[in-house]
Chain A
Amino acid sequence: MLVSIYRYNPEKDTAPYMQDYEITIPGNRDVMILDVLALVKEQDSTLAYRRSCREGVCGSDGMNINGKNGLACITPISEATKGKMDKLVLRPLPGMPVIRDLVIDMTMFYQQYEKVKPYLENNTPAPAIERLQTPEERAKLDGLYECILCACCSTSCPSFWWNPDKFVGPAGLLQAYRFLADSRDTMTQERLAGLSDPFSVFRCRGIMNCVNVCPKGLNPTRAIGHIRNMLLTQQV
């Protein structure tokens, strides 16, 4: 199988380039892209990519696979090459600075994540044991808390490409809503005030690239819609 991979080592290369590798998959099995990368790595040990859990939990190996962002460890070859030639094109997640090969600098992504204060804030006295929720209140967090911060969604969003320093991006906004929807959080007004500017939330144009690529099947566009409704209800 032909695998074309984005290569860039800033210490040696003046510009990025695509390098082709011919690999043989043992038993012709439908392996994951991460396994393909391991086979390439056997041929060329200079190739750099991130990986850790190899089962779609840590979010380390997000990359652009045949034009679509996804996790290498849970994307089988059959899915990546669907409807195309028997060729695999792997690039780093788009719109972010490349450190080397498939490894990107995620500083801006984490800065936006930090901006939404992704932790519970409650200014009432702490109860003796824990802050309880009804099953209904807890159910509101389903589809929000599962995000693994792989950055597949934010790096597929044109609004995030244009303004990564101002637009929070789908991943950050999903987390923002996760705490806005939490019955135990008491800082709703302050959180909304921090999101009412023209960039943080309202740069979302609802094109749903984020929904299309999320490897966990989450829906950041819906969460952004909920935030927008909360802002409108509060300020109009």
Chain B
Amino acid sequence: MVNSVTNLGRSGVYDWVIQRLTAVILALYTLFLLGYVLATPDLTYDVWKDLFSCTAMKIFTFAALLSMCAHAWVGLWTISTDYLTSSAVVRFIFQLVCAGFLFTYLVWGFDILWGV
């Protein structure tokens, strides 16, 4: 058993499930948006605003945003532990920068979403 304090689920099984589940949510969200754009020939600002004003869409978008952050963390954590193995300090700094970006995207995305 090899432990790591920085991985998301503290377990390979949880990380594996999180990555697959978030991938499904992101795929559904992408397909929905793509379908919506294709099915709406007259896509104006008001139509787009109405879509994102709906509570269900806000929940769906926030779920996609959370999924993006979790998915990216699992992936970037894996990359950092594969390629940055010579120095734990460098690895930790890389992980901190990634975490900082993801947290910023999350808060920023939440702010935009609830500002509609």
Q: Do A and B come from one complex?
A: yes
Chain A contacts to B: CB under 8 angstroms = 159, 162-163, 166, 193-203, 228, 231-232, 235-236
Q: Give the docked Cα–Cα distance between A228 and B81 (Å).
A: 20
A202 touches B16 (CB 8 A): yes
Partner of B7, one of A162, A195, A198, A200: A198
- Inter-chain contact count A-B, CB under 8 Å? 55
Q: Decide if A198 touches B12 in the complex (CB within 8 Å).
A: yes
Other than A196-B1, A200-B2, give 6 A-B pairs with Cβ distance below 8 A: A163-B85, A194-B1, A197-B1, A198-B11, A231-B12, A232-B16
Chain A residues with CB under 8 Å of B82's CB are: 159, 162-163
Assess whether B17 is in contact with A236, with CB atoms less than 8 Å apart: yes
Residues of B within 8 A of A195 (CB): 1, 12
Which residue of the partner chain, among B3, B7, B17, B83, contacts A232 with CB atoms under 8 Å? B17
User: Cβ of B40 < 8 Å from any Cβ of A?
Assistant: no
CB proximity of B69 to chain A, nearest CB, Å: 18
A-B contacts, 10 listed (Cβ < 8 Å): A159-B82, A162-B81, A163-B82, A163-B85, A193-B1, A196-B12, A197-B12, A199-B4, A232-B16, A232-B17
Q: Bin chain B's interface residue count.
A: 10 to 19
Contact B85 A201 (CB under 8 A): no
Question: Which residues of chain A have C-beta atoms less than 8 A from B81's C-beta?
Answer: 162-163, 198-199
Closest chain B residue, CB of each to CB of A236: B17
B2 CB contacts on chain A under 8 angstroms: 166, 197-200
Known A159-B82, A197-B3, A200-B1: A228·B11 in contact at CB below 8 Å: no
Mark each residue of chain B from 75 to 91: 1 if its CB lies under 8 Å from any CB of chain A, else 0. 00010011101000000
Task: Write out the residue numbers on chain A whose beta carbons fall within 8 Å of the beta carbon of B93.
Answer: none
Q: How far is the CA of A201 from the CA of B4 in the complex (A)?
A: 14
Q: Which residues of A contact B3 (CB under 8 A)?
A: 197
Query: Which residues does chain B contribute within 8 Å of A228, judged by CB atoms?
Result: 16
Bound-state CA distance A196–B9 (Å) is 11
CB distance from A86 to the nearest CB of B (A): 38
